[in-house]
Structure 1
Amino acid sequence: MKTIRNLSITVTAAALMAASMSGGAFAQDFTAKIGHLESAAQNRHIHLEKVAALVSERTNGAVEFTLFPQAQLGDQRQMNEGVQFGSLEATVAPAAFLGGFNPVVSILDIPYLLPEGEDAAQALREGPFGQTLLDSFTDKGMHAIALWPNGRKHVTSNLPIADLADYASQKFRVMDSRVLIEQFNALDASAIAIPFGELYTALQTGVIDGQENPLDTIETMKYFEVQENLVISGHGAMEDVVIFNPAWWDSLPAEYQTIIEDAFIEMVPELVANKQAAVDSALEAVTEAGMNVRVAGPEERAAFREATFDATSAAYVAQAGDAGQALLDVYLEEYENVTQ
């Protein structure tokens, strides 16, 4: 009986080892909480759910993501710190909320940084520029694996903006960014950093003339109620950064790391398409609400970039130092490659 019992234990152990090698015994072994700011009905969360499903399927349930939308785990700074300290496995963070942790990421504030064509823009994200940007998070206690596009900014104002010259002397609200402040200075306008929650009132009371935001934000926040003019400029890239805690990431088998990276990248075309649908709907809504809408043409966009690029690049390098200059050099080379 003793021999039979030992044989039974040996067979069971072998079966468990075989299951382990096939991935079945890893079920629920790797669980990640992922926090972000948007609601469960918005684009970021919807596609995070799809990524989570892909990852679970492709790892046979060995890796599971639990999603916490709408700042359930704290504001973005708290979530960033949670990822650094290991109390949170991952966050999908707007780049604008990461400059205080990693000044190098503020390169994304430079106007018209990404080309308009989505294929060329994605080539930049996935190429040496994007990888160098992601790698810059390593010494900040974060492991960044992907850039996720989240739309582009446009300009509104209560004063006319018939051409580039009309920016002069107007006052625009910006996020607290040296690069964005310099963007409007280069157009002979004024830039004032005002908290997002105070923007509607600042527009309503005339403290500022205008602001910049994606179209769906302009519609959702009802800025059309306190703004007359909208220029479809597409000058500012709104990018999210997918960030994991390094210790959690390093605990994964290499094949699972690849599966997760691939799932986030594969989701980009659908993410972009759904965002565009939201933008199209928002444009229809603000037009029906009575805003004067003008689309900036290719020549105006090129002139905007030319007028602002050197000044904003200099402000960026002054803030990000040698690492910023190195990334800017990679960008300039890669931009030429993807736009030829």
Structure 2
Amino acid sequence: MKWSQRLTRFAAATALSCLAAGVQAETWKYSIEVSQGDIQDLYAQEFKKRIEQKTDGDVEVKIYYGGTLGTSADTTELAANGALQFANVSLGHLGSFVPEIQLFSIPFILSESNDVNKKLMTESKTVFEDMAPDFAKSGLRLMSIYSEGEDAWAANRAVRSPADLDNFKMRILVSPLQVEAFKDLGSSPTPLPFGEVYGALQLKVIDGVGNPISSIYQSKFFEVTDHLISARHQLFTSAIVTGEDWFGSLPPARQQLVQETLKEVSIHMMDEVPRLEEQFLAKILEEKPQMEYIRLNEAQRDLFRERAEKTRGKFVELVGDNGRQVLDNFLAEREQWEAQLN
């Protein structure tokens, strides 16, 4: 079904439900990419709780789970057209709308400090101000970014060095820079829809997948792989987007409330994620004791870090004229906050 058809049916169903219910609380529709219980869901639930409390019930947040409203591209289009108020999408998907946001697909681009990354993901001028006009051209407003945890690798073979990724088919998001990034790390990047990953791992069509540990558990990828690798090369970053027109139609006080609440939830979740990662990792190792958990040491990580330097140049080439400025500005912000906070 085309996204435009999905939009029409979704809008019609929403209108009918509102008529049936009579005049009640305003409903804000919020989609996530994954299933109930995942970190995206925990984020959405926290936002729902806080915004409903702050508006004294004048707003109800209704959460739609992965696949209910289509692909990530579908939900992004729904948000841009105002049929959906909030869409939680991985930043790799947003690269087709705003190439600059693929900055977050560069391995080792973020800090080793969670406090620094909270600043980068909630206050970066480079991201939230400089990129805003490009999002607006697509009818979108970038509201918030947060980390779901490290992008760990569930794999059919052990990986401790770039050489181990030779002829290794790594499932990635459909993102031009992710293709280049995983080539640079040494693998054979293989874009694949999320719903096909379990079967592809099981049948050895792919050799591994990068996902938050929570998703590796929730999606049962650990059942069909034998190794879980923590290279800590990248955080799996998610974005909350809304429609530029819809957000602009809100009263200024309501706009501020939404922005403040999303920032609060992003910081709250990034403080919670390390604890949640430990819990999900413990569940994986408890349910599959034979799973080999490999945590790379700093010398091993340095081998991948050296490879990732190439990806920065490819980001500049991909983005075009202002790519170098975006990269330099973001790295300068990271350096500034590391000096202040560490």
Structure 2 residue 208 is matched with structure 1 residue 210: yes
> What is the distance in 2 between the residues matched to 1:235 and 1:179?
15
Which AA in structure 2 matches 1:54? R
Identical-pair percentage: 26
Number of the residue aligned with 2:306: 306
CA distance in 1, matches of 2:148, 2:274: 9
Counterpart pick for 2:226 among 225, 228, 235: 228
1:188 and 1:72, CA in 2 relative to 1: closer, same or farther beyond 3 A? closer
**Count of aligned residue pairs for this structure pair:** 313
Shift of 1:250: 1.5
Q: 1:4 matched to which residue of 2?
A: none
Mapping for residues 174-323 of structure 1, pairs under 5 Å: 174-288=172-286, 289=288, 290-309=290-309, 311-323=310-322
Shift in CA distance, 339/303, structure 1 to aligned 2, threshold 3 Å: farther
Distance in 1 (alpha carbons) for counterparts of 2:44 and 2:155: 34
Counterpart secondary structure, 1:199: helix
Q: 1:144 aligns with which of 128, 142, 145?
A: 142
Shift of 1:137: 1.2
C-alpha deviations, 1:247-300, integer Å up to 9, x for none? 221122222211111111112243134433432123223334111112112333
CA RMSD of aligned residues (A): 2.6
Residues 87 and 224 of structure 1: CA distance in aligned 2, closer, same or farther (over 3 Å): closer
Structure 1 moving runs of 4+ over 6 Å: none
Structure 1 spans left out of the alignment, 5+ residues: 1-26
SS at 1:206 equivalent: coil
- TM-score, structure 2 normalization: 0.81
Q: Distance in 2 between matches of 1:316 and 1:58?
A: 41
Per the alignment, do residues 114 and 253 of structure 1 end up closer, same or farther by CA in structure 2, a change over 3 Å counting?
same
Structure 1 stretch 30-39 or stretch 246-255: which is displaced more?
Answer: 30-39
The correspondence for 1:82, drawn from 68, 78, 82, is: 78
Q: How does 1:125-136 map to 2 (within 5 A)?
A: 125=121, 126-132=123-129, 135=132, 136=134
The answer (yes or no) to whether the contact 2:97–2:138 under 8 Å persists in 1 is: yes
Paired residue for 1:111?
107
Distance, in Å, in 2 between the alignment partners of 1:192 and 1:70 is: 21
Q: Which amino acid aligns with 1:167?
A: L
Give matches, 1:64-103, under 5 Å. 64-103=60-99
Q: Tell me if 1:329 matches 2:325.
A: no
Q: Is the 8 A contact 1:134 1:145 kept in 2?
A: no
Instruction: Say which is worse superposed, 317-326 or 121-130, in terms of deviation.
Output: 317-326
What letter corresponds to residue 46 of structure 2 in structure 1? K
Query: Residue type of the partner of 2:102?
Result: S
Pairwise CA distance, 1:28: 6.8
Local SS of the residue matching 2:160: coil
Secondary structure of the 1:267 match is helix
Shift in CA distance, 65/189, structure 1 to aligned 2, threshold 3 Å: closer
Distance 1:41 1:206 in 2: 28
CA contact (8 A) 1:35 1:67 kept: yes
SS of 1:88 mapped into structure 2: coil
Report the Cα offset of residue 228 of structure 1: 2.3
With over 3 angstroms needed to count, the CA separation of the structure-2 counterparts of 1:209 and 1:48, relative to structure 1, is closer
Q: CA 1:67–1:190 in 2, change beyond 3 Å: closer, same or farther? A: closer
State the 1:99 CA deviation. 2.0
Deviations 1:12-31 (Å, cap 9, x if unpaired)?
xxxxxxxxxxxxxxx97864
Distance 1:247 1:209, change over 3 A: closer
Residue number in structure 1 paired with 2:15? none
Distance 1:322 1:200, change over 3 A: same
Task: Calculate the TM-score normalised by the size of structure 1.
Answer: 0.81
- Tell me which amino acid in the other structure corresponds to 2:125: P
Q: How many Å separate the matches in 1 of 2:156 and 2:34?
A: 28
Instruction: Determine helix, strand or coil for the equivalent of 1:87.
Output: coil
Deviates more, 1:212-221 or 1:317-326: 317-326
Is the Cα–Cα contact under 8 Å of residues 179 and 313 in structure 1 kept in the other structure? no
> Whole-Å Cα distance in 1 between the matches of residues 42 and 218 of structure 2?
18
C-alpha distance 299-245 of structure 1, shift in aligned 2 (>3 A): same
Is the 2:211–2:236 Cα contact (8 Å) retained in structure 1?
A: no
Which residue identity is paired with 2:337?
A: V
Residues 319/114 of structure 1: CA separation in 2 closer, same or farther (3 Å cut): same
Name which one, 1 or 2, has greater alpha-carbon Rg: 1
- Check conservation: 1:146, 1:242, Cα contact below 8 A: yes
